[in-house]
Amino acid sequence: MEERFTTVAAIDIGTSKVACAIAHIGGLDGAISVIGKGTAVNTGMRKGVVTDIEKTGAAIKAAVDAAERLSGYEIQHATITVSGSHVEGMNSSGKVAVANPDREIRSDDVDRVLDVCRAIQVPSSRMLLNVLPSSYIVDGQEGIQQPLGMVAYSLEARAHLITAGSTAVQNLEKCVQYAGIAVDDYVPASLAAAELTLTETERDLGTVLVDIGAETCDIAVFYQNAVVHTAVLPIGGAFITRDVAIGLKTSLAAAEELKTSYGTCDLRTVSVSERYTVPDEPGDRYIERADLARIIEARMSEIFEMIAGVIAAAGPEVTSAGVVLTGGGAQLEGIEALARAILKTGVRVASPVGPLAGILDDFRGPAQAAILGLFSWVAVGLEEAGVAEEPSSSLLGRVGGAFTGVFSRFRR
Ligand SMILES: Nc1ncnc2c1ncn2[C@@H]1O[C@H](COP(=O)(O)OP(=O)(O)OP(=O)(O)O)[C@@H](O)[C@H]1O
Ligand SMILES: [Mg+2]
């Protein structure tokens, strides 16, 4: 049998870096096989929102160029992440009468009830990005995940809706267009990051996924295999770096190096005698590791207090199975211990796992959870849309346009 797959491009546009990757998805084993990848430093964003189109556009172009060179493909369309505190989640519900005389629920009934869910008043300054059904109620019976084929008089649906600031999304699109690429679909960064980091059990029992980036924490709560709460906090690892630079009177670059090489937020693991020289400074200036750790712990505690607020807003029932941390900022030493102490629940740090293959090397750590998760998101969309898979194509093919699920996503 000939191996068949679809070639897809994804771009994660973060505040500290843009990551682009090209992958074959599908094939005989349903794998995500990465054939091109690239990252570039981004200086054109603040807190997940574009502040400089040229700088962000140039970062996207650099990441895209690297992925194209490696793969031999040219990207025309891509699925991208969206972040920033303008991205908001809300729950909605809807109810319809089952239309068919035989009372069997068909896909048009499901479409209609989801149309009711999405018929919320969105102010003109905002746009609806995603509609994520969470559960159905069939003649009053709650907790139905697949209503198709059931017999009933009424069908109700619950859904999580994600909206975003129109201008913030338009500016992001401009940056992608600057790099000569059209946007296939916008995916909230939290949901992209959740794809390959949460287990089935975690999604079912009620788990909080937090992608700790440079200037955003993208949060999504999963319960009974559905998204029930989302939030974006405008804070992240770059705030820690700035505190270190101010507190220890170093450059930002030296502070970043000190943080990632010797930093920890678990004060109990630091011995009093540990000292390190400040990088890139004339003469030897020593800093105490305990001072570094205290600065980091203070800011990281504040970040977890804010995350605790989001968890409290979501409610205890849907968050009882604990917290999963990912994103570049989750690599901070001691982060699990501090998170457990403040959030008072189970915590683990996750890297993307799943049917990943191809040229990954070190491109599969917490910082790549969102970019790799985008492929999983697209794969689910392709499966649902029943898009015919292309035969495996040769080099110098063109990527994109396979699936345009713009502004809505239905997981049934
Ligand atoms: N070993 C490490 N220890 C502590 N922090 C780290 C480590 N490695 C990376 N980081 C931090 O991770 C952050 C970058 O994470 P990531 O690449 O996920 O952000 P981003 O996607 O660019 O930003 P955002 O999602 O906020 O827009 C930086 O603040 C960086 O200092
Ligand atoms: Mg990110």
Q: Are residues 104 and 217 in the same domain?
A: no
Q: Which atom of ligand 1 is nearest to the CA of 237?
A: 29
Q: Which atom of ligand 1 is nearest to the CA of 367?
A: 18
pLDDT band at 4, cuts 50/70/90? Answer: confident
Residue 400's pLDDT is 46
Residue 339's pLDDT is 98
- The alpha-carbon radius of gyration of the chain (Å, integer) is 22
Looking at residue 247, which CATH number applies to its domain? 3.30.420.40
Residue nearest to atom 9 of ligand 1 (CA): 328
Q: How far is the CA of 23 from the centre of ligand 1 (A)?
A: 24
Residue 272's pLDDT is 87
Q: Are residues 203 and 320 in the same domain?
A: yes
Decide if pLDDT at 398 tops 70: no
Residue 387's pLDDT is 58
Q: Which atom of ligand 1 is nearest to the CA of 16?
A: 22
| 318 assigned to some structural domain | yes
Residue 390's pLDDT is 47
DSSP states of 113-173 as a string? Answer: HHHHHH-----TTEEEEEEEEEEEEETTEEEES--TT-B-SEEEEEEEEEEEEHHHHHHHH
Domain boundary among 350, 365, 397: 350
Question: pLDDT (tens digit, 9 = 90+) per residue, 35-49?
Answer: 999 999 999 999 999
Decide if pLDDT at 395 tops 60: no
Mean pLDDT of the chain: 92
| 74 assigned to some structural domain | no
pLDDT band at 2, cuts 50/70/90? Answer: low
Looking at the CA of 328, which ligand is closest?
1
Decide if pLDDT at 403 tops 60: no
pLDDT band at 233, cuts 50/70/90? Answer: very high
Question: Do the beta carbons of residue 81 and residue 13 sit within 8 Å?
Answer: yes
Residue 3's pLDDT is 65
Mean pLDDT, residues 368-396 taken together: 73
Q: Are residues 155 and 284 in the same domain?
A: no
Mean pLDDT, residues 71-75 taken together: 97
- Alpha carbon distances (Å) from 194 to 74, 225, 300: 28, 12, 21
Q: How far is the CA of 37 from the centre of ligand 1 (A)?
A: 18
Q: How far is the CA of 359 from the centre of ligand 1 (A)?
A: 22
With a pLDDT cut of 70, the percent of the chain lying above it is 92
Q: Are residues 143 and 240 in the same domain?
A: no
Q: How far is the CA of 328 from the centre of ligand 1 (A)?
A: 4
Decide if pLDDT at 410 tops 70: no
Q: Are residues 154 and 235 in the same domain?
A: no
The amino acid at residue 171 is: N
Decide if pLDDT at 71 tops 70: yes
Q: Are residues 215 and 295 in the same domain?
A: yes
Mean pLDDT, residues 403-409 taken together: 36
Question: 230: closest CA among 132, 120, 374, 94?
Answer: 132
pLDDT band at 26, cuts 50/70/90? Answer: confident
Residue 1's pLDDT is 57
Looking at the CA of 216, which ligand is closest?
1
Q: Are residues 160 and 209 in the same domain?
A: no
Ligand 1 mutation pick, 12, 15, 16, max ligand atoms within 8 A of CB: 16
Looking at residue 109, which CATH number applies to its domain? 3.30.1490.110
Domain boundary among 350, 369, 401: 350
Which residues are CB-contacts of 59 (< 8 A; sequence separation ≥ 6)?
13, 17, 18, 40, 41, 42, 43, 44
Looking at the CA of 212, which ligand is closest?
1
Decide if pLDDT at 349 tops 90: yes
pLDDT band at 101, cuts 50/70/90? Answer: very high
Mean pLDDT, residues 268-288 taken together: 94
| 8 assigned to some structural domain | no
Residue 168's pLDDT is 98
| 376 assigned to some structural domain | no
Domain boundary among 350, 378, 403: 350
| Ligand 1 site residues, Cβ closer than 6 angstroms | 14-17, 48, 83, 189, 213-216, 236-238, 241, 256, 259-260, 263, 327-329, 331-332, 367
Rounded Cα gap, residues 344 and 346, in angstroms: 7
| 253 assigned to some structural domain | yes
Residue nearest to atom 4 of ligand 1 (CA): 332
Q: Look up the domain containing 103 and give its range.
A: 88-165
Looking at the CA of 84, which ligand is closest?
1
Q: How far is the CA of 15 from the centre of ligand 1 (A)?
A: 9
Rounded Cα gap, residues 90 and 206, in angstroms: 17
Q: Are residues 240 and 297 in the same domain?
A: yes
Mean pLDDT, residues 1-17 taken together: 89
The amino acid at residue 375 is: F
SS3 at position 55: helix
Q: How far is the CA of 231 from the centre of ligand 2 (A)?
A: 14
Which residues are CB-contacts of 355 (< 8 A; sequence separation ≥ 6)?
29, 30, 31, 32
Q: Are residues 215 and 344 in the same domain?
A: yes
Residue 382's pLDDT is 84
Which region among 3-7, 90-94, 122-126, 382-386 has the lowest average model confidence (pLDDT)? 382-386
Q: Are residues 232 and 287 in the same domain?
A: yes
Looking at the CA of 264, which ligand is closest?
1
Mean pLDDT, residues 164-183 taken together: 98
Q: Are residues 202 and 94 in the same domain?
A: no
| 346 assigned to some structural domain | yes
Mean pLDDT, residues 350-369 taken together: 96
Q: Which atom of ligand 1 is nearest to the CA of 218?
A: 25
Return the number of other C-beta atoms located less than 10 Å from residue 110's C-beta.
20
Residue 28's pLDDT is 60
Q: Are residues 342 and 221 in the same domain?
A: yes
| 254 assigned to some structural domain | yes
Tokens representing 302?
A: 């504040």
Question: pLDDT (tens digit, 9 = 90+) per residue, 124-143?
Answer: 999 999 999 999 999 999 99
Mean pLDDT, residues 175-182 taken together: 97
Which residues are CB-contacts of 106 (< 8 A; sequence separation ≥ 6)?
99, 100, 148
Number of domains in the chain: 2
Question: pLDDT (tens digit, 9 = 90+) per residue, 316-331?
Answer: 999 999 999 999 999 9
Residue 385's pLDDT is 74
Residue 384's pLDDT is 76
| 371 assigned to some structural domain | no
Q: How far is the CA of 179 from the centre of ligand 1 (A)?
A: 24
Q: Which atom of ligand 1 is nearest to the CA of 42?
A: 22
Q: Which atom of ligand 1 is nearest to the CA of 83?
A: 27
